[in-house]
Chain A
Amino acid sequence: MKIIKIAALLASGLSATVSFAAKDGCKTPDGKEIRGAVKMDGSSTVFPVAEAIAEEFQKVCPRVRVTVGLSGTGGGFKKFTSGEIDISNASRSIKPKEKAATEKNKIKYMKLPVAFDGISVIVSKKNTFLKEIAMEDLKRIWEPGSKIKYWNEVDPKLPKKEIKLYGPGADSGTFDFFTEEVMGVSRASRSDYVASEDDNVLVRGVKASDAALGYFGYAYYIENKSTLNSVKIKYKGKTTGPTFETIQDGSYPLARPLLVYLNVGSAKRPEVQAFVDFFLKNAGKLSKEVGYIPLPKETYEKALAEFEKTVKNMQTH
């Protein structure tokens, strides 16, 4: 029976999960099958990874219902801080205001890493003049009240073409992160650009014009590599573009970690324990599959050890 199960899992390309499945078989220590529900919600950027993990976990624990929502990082935190969900998917760290809400509602949480993403600054393949841009110029273009209208105002060597700007809307975690990193102040941005929560709208917009500039997650750039170019960023004397390696080792200045926040109170439930365990053991492989960049192996292992410690502490108390 066990052999059949292992074979089936291997066949579906899940070698990483076998040890877990064979060891626990989705049973509690006293041998009962784990049932229940795990609720996740939040960032649309983290969604593909969360979906992949939920999908694979469902094969191991068919009796546990994992659901993933798509309310955006801010919307996810709203539900998380009021205790409606177990896990919040986030493309930025929790804000002081949200932290205060967790304290008010007596929710203890734990931050767990999922994968890396690199916010890519993008031009169309048609654009022949922009290969790299200095961080300061990026700031001059995007800062609030910026009057820059033509490329030659950024650098006299560039042609006199009108810059068309595309970027995510203000509800997006990408927006929060980009403004924080480039402007130094979170949510400080000029507002006269084409904004959309749907990154595919940005992709289409930038694609069409040789003078357009946009920024969005790495996965959208990779999927549209045939029509888009990434712009290298000059920062502190180095010029780096977004690639698998530069994002993973953190040398790309706009690399950001994708996170989940776990409600520690929920971790009392065996189905949440099983899910988080599975999550941390498989996040690396599965995030790579859906176009994100996995964190170093040790990061996951460290997080798993920390999680197991937390669970143990809770059981002894």
Chain B
Amino acid sequence: MSQASSPTVPVVASKNQKNRGGETLENPKFIPNHSGRRMREYAFRAVIVSATLAALFILIVLTVNVFKQGLPWLDQQFLTSFPSRFPERAGIKSAIWGSVWLGGFTLLFSVFFGVGAALYLEELAPKNRINRILEVNISTLAGVPSIIYGMLGLTLFVRIMAFERSVLAGGLTLSLLIMPVIIIATREALKCVPDDIRLGAAALGATKWQAVRDHVLPAAMPGVLTGIILAMARAVGEAAPLIMIGALSYVAFVPESAFDAFTALPIQIFNWTSRPKEEFHALAAAGIIVLLGFLLVCNSIAILLRLKWKDHRR
């Protein structure tokens, strides 16, 4: 192989040299062109910095706009009242608690099944055709529009399993929605764990399960948590599948069990933006601030957990 290919190498090289304008080793035509390269470097930098700034600018404009509209309405009363036809009496208590219940169920199911499936596929599953087909399908599922999951949830959880329009059905639907994302993120994290750890554990007589439980999974945990955070952020902000399964817009009670009806923050916001009265649009903005705060709290908790995990391992 090397004998056959080695004579061709100089030929290719000389061809390339010819293309550069007859440059040979004896007659170097390399021109450093420092200023030109620097110019290009700056131009490139300017482009990527402006791309970042543009994204940031849009975000800032949106946030400032939302805060300007919503902040005057955001008070104790808003957080502790149920929806009302009077903007000054309306609040999002039922939506906040609905979102908390939903988030809890979603986290429970999607982490259990998502991380479980990823562990199986990455650590235990034989690399055969069926599993490869499974993998491709999971990546495809991650790109399926959320409303489709809503339709699935409506048929499967609401009708066939007869959970009706409960927080449980909502949580299960959202878990389905974000499971592919969690599976993919967890697998990527597991792939980054060096094989030495697995081999070392095996050499000491640990079973595969022991190696995964005590060594591989903890090592992959920061990556897994990042995946879960991103997935949960998507789930909490999602309205379309919930409306599809029949989440409600006017709910004047806090869910007390898994089978209670519910509303959620994005649904309440959606409802307020579509009202004729201008004040309700401001209420929607206040709702968005609450949703942002909710996400920020969730993310901070996850980041804290991740830091703790890293310290723990050192």
Task: List A residues at the B interface (Cβ < 8 Å).
Answer: 37, 39, 41, 44, 47-48, 50-52, 54-55, 58, 65-71, 79, 84, 197-200, 217, 219-220, 222-224, 286, 289-291
Contacts and interface: CB of A to CB of B under 8 A. Distances in A.
Nearest to B164: A84
Contacts of A200: 273-276, 281
Contacts of B278: 223
The listed residue with most B CB atoms (<10 A of its CB), out of A51, A199, A286, is A51
A51 B274 contact: no
Interface stretch (B52-60, B187-195, B250-258): B250-258
A223 to B, nearest CB: 4
B281 A67 contact: no
Nearest to B85: A52
B246 A69 contact: yes
A19 to B, nearest CB: 22
17 contacts: A41-B246, A41-B248, A47-B271, A48-B276, A51-B85, A52-B85, A55-B84, A65-B261, A67-B251, A68-B248, A69-B248, A70-B271, A197-B274, A198-B273, A200-B273, A200-B276, A286-B85
A74 to B, nearest CB: 13
A68 B82 CA distance: 13
Contacts of A67: 248, 250-251, 261
B273 A65 contact: no
Contacts of A286: 85
A84 B163 CA distance: 12
Interface string B153-173: 000000000001100000000
Given A48-B85, A219-B276, A286-B85, 5 more contacts: A55-B82, A65-B252, A69-B247, A69-B249, A200-B275
Interface centre among B243, B250, B251, B281 (most CB of A within 10 A): B250
Contacts of A68: 248-250
A291 B246 CA distance: 26
B68 interface: no
Given A219-B276, A223-B276, A50 B281 contact: no
Contact of B243 (A47, A48, A65, A71): A71
Nearest to A57: B252
B85 A290 contact: yes
B250 A54 contact: yes
A310 B273 CA distance: 39
Nearest to B267: A70
B83 interface: yes
A70 B85 contact: no
Contacts of B277: 223, 291
Contacts of A291: 276-277
Contact of B274 (A37, A58, A66, A198): A198
B276 A79 contact: no
A220 B276 contact: yes
Contact of B276 (A37, A41, A197, A222): A222
Contacts of A71: 243, 246
B194 to A, nearest CB: 52
Given A41-B246, A51-B83, A200-B281, A66 B276 contact: no
Nearest to B249: A70
A92 B253 CA distance: 30
Nearest to A49: B85
B252 A70 contact: no
Contact of A199 (B85, B164, B251, B274): B274
A195 B281 CA distance: 20
Contacts of A65: 252-253, 261
Interface in B245-303: 246-253, 261, 267, 271, 273-278, 281
Contacts of B247: 69
A79 B246 contact: yes
B243 A70 contact: yes
Contacts of B249: 47, 51, 68-70
Nearest to A198: B274
4 shortest interchain CB distances as A-B pairs = A68-B250, A70-B249, A223-B276, A52-B85
Nearest to B279: A223
B246 to A, nearest CB: 6
Contacts of A50: 250
A284 to B, nearest CB: 15
B25 to A, nearest CB: 67
